[in-house]
C-alpha cells in the first residue's frame, strides 16, 4: 500500500516537475514539491513515526512559502542531482561493506545463498556490476548538475545573475533530468541483462521471469536491503 503510493507520487513528481519547467507555471512546481513530500514521508507516517508527523507540517509550510515567493521551481533543479548522487553513493559505499556489494547480495538472495558462498565468477561479476552502476549514476548526477547550471532562464547560474557560457532551455534540462534519466537507467539495465544472459547462460528463462524473481524476494528483503 505505502510502496504503491510512493510509486504513484514518484511518477506524479516527474510529470509535474517537467510540466513546471515546460510551462513556467509555479502551480505545477508547487504540486511537484507536494508530491515529493508525500513520497518521502509516506513510510514514516504509515509507521506512525514521530519525526515524520513533525516534518509533515514543516515541509508543507516550506512548500507553500516557496510558492508564494515565486521560488517553488528552484528546489526542482537540485532534486534529480541529489537523488541520483545519493543512489550512486549507496552503490559505491556497498563495495566496502562486510555484507557484500548491493548486487552481490541480490544475486545471493536469488540463489538462496550468501555472498560468501557465491561462485568466484558470480562474485566478481556482481561486484563489478555494482561498481558500474555507481559510475553510471554518478555520471548522470554530474550531467544533471551541469544542465541545471546551464539552463536559462531560471537555471542555477541564471538565478544568481550569472550568464552560463553554454545555455539550454529549462524545458531541455527537465526533459533529461525528469524523464530521459529513467530511460538511461532502463536502457543500461536491459543491455546489461542481455550481456549477463550470454555470460551466464541458463540462469534466467526470460527478462520477465527475472523481474518476477526479483519481486519474489519479498518486501522484507527490500525493506532491509539498504540497511
pLDDT tens sequence across 189-205? 889 988 988 888 877 77
Question: What does the pLDDT look like over 40-79, one tens digit per residue?
Answer: 888 888 888 888 898 888 999 999 998 898 878 888 888 8
- pLDDT score for 114: 82
Q: Does 216 lie in the same domain as 159? A: yes
Q: Does 141 lie in the same domain as 213? A: yes
Q: Does 195 lie in the same domain as 134? A: yes
Q: Does 91 lie in the same domain as 42? A: no
Q: Does 194 lie in the same domain as 84? A: yes
Residue 137 pLDDT level (bands cut at 50, 70, 90)? very high
Average pLDDT over residues 105-119: 84
Examine residue 153 and say whether the peptide bond preceding it is cis (omega within 30 degrees of 0).
Answer: yes
φ and ψ of 203, to 5 deg: -75, -30
Domain end (from 33, 57, 72) = 72
Q: Does 106 lie in the same domain as 15? A: no
Q: Does 213 lie in the same domain as 196? A: yes
- pLDDT score for 204: 76
Q: Does 99 lie in the same domain as 12? A: no
Give, to the nearest 10 degrees, the angle between helix 207-215 and helix 181-199: 100
Q: What angle do CA 159, 163, 167 make, to 5 degrees?
A: 95
Q: Does 95 lie in the same domain as 204? A: yes
Q: Does 43 lie in the same domain as 1? A: yes
- pLDDT score for 24: 78
Domain end (from 72, 99, 131) = 72
CB 85 within 8 Å of CB 138: yes
CB 130 within 8 Å of CB 104: yes
Task: Please count the CA atoms within 13 angstroms of the CA of 106 that sit on its side-chain side.
Answer: 18
Q: How many domains does the chain have?
A: 2
Q: Does 173 lie in the same domain as 157? A: yes
Q: Does 38 lie in the same domain as 7? A: yes
Residue 131 pLDDT level (bands cut at 50, 70, 90)? very high
CB 29 within 8 Å of CB 72: yes
Domain end (from 72, 101, 119) = 72
Average pLDDT over residues 78-89: 89
Structural domain including 201 reads 74-227
Amino acid at each position: 500500500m505505502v510502496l504503491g503510493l510512493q510509486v504513484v507520487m514518484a511518477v506524479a513528481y516527474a510529470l509535474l516537475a517537467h510540466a513546471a519547467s515546460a510551462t513556467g507555471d509555479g502551480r505545477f512546481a508547487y504540486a511537484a514539491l507536494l508530491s515529493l513530500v508525500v513520497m518521502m514521508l509516506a513510510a514514516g507516517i504509515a509507521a506512525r513515526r514521530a519525526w515524520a508527523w513533525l516534518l509533515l507540517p514543516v515541509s508543507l509550510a516550506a512548500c507553500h512559502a516557496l510558492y508564494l515567493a515565486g521560488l517553488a521551481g528552484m528546489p526542482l533543479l537540485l532534486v534529480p542531482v541529489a537523488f541520483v548522487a545519493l543512489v550512486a553513493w549507496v552503490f559505491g559505499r556497498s563495495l566496502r561493506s562486510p555484507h557484500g556489494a548491493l548486487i552481490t547480495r541480490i544475486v545471493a538472495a536469488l540463489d538462496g545463498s550468501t555472498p560468501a558462498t557465491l561462485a568466484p565468477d558470480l562474485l566478481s561479476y556482481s561486484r563489478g556490476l555494482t561498481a558500474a552502476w555507481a559510475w553510471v549514476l554518478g555520471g548522470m548526477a554530474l550531467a544533471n548538475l551541469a544542465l541545471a547550471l546551464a539552463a536559462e532562464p531560471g537555471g542555477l547560474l541564471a538565478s544568481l545573475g550569472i550568464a552560463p557560457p553554454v545555455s539550454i532551455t529549462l524545458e531541455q534540462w527537465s526533459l533529461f533530468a525528469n524523464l530521459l534519466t529513467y530511460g538511461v537507467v532502463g536502457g543500461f539495465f536491459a543491455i546489461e541483462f542481455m550481456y549477463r544472459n550470454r555470460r551466464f547462460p541458463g540462469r534466467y528463462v526470460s527478462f520477465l521471469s527475472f523481474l518476477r524473481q526479483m519481486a519474489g524476494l519479498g518486501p522484507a528483503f527490500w525493506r532491509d536491503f539498504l540497511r
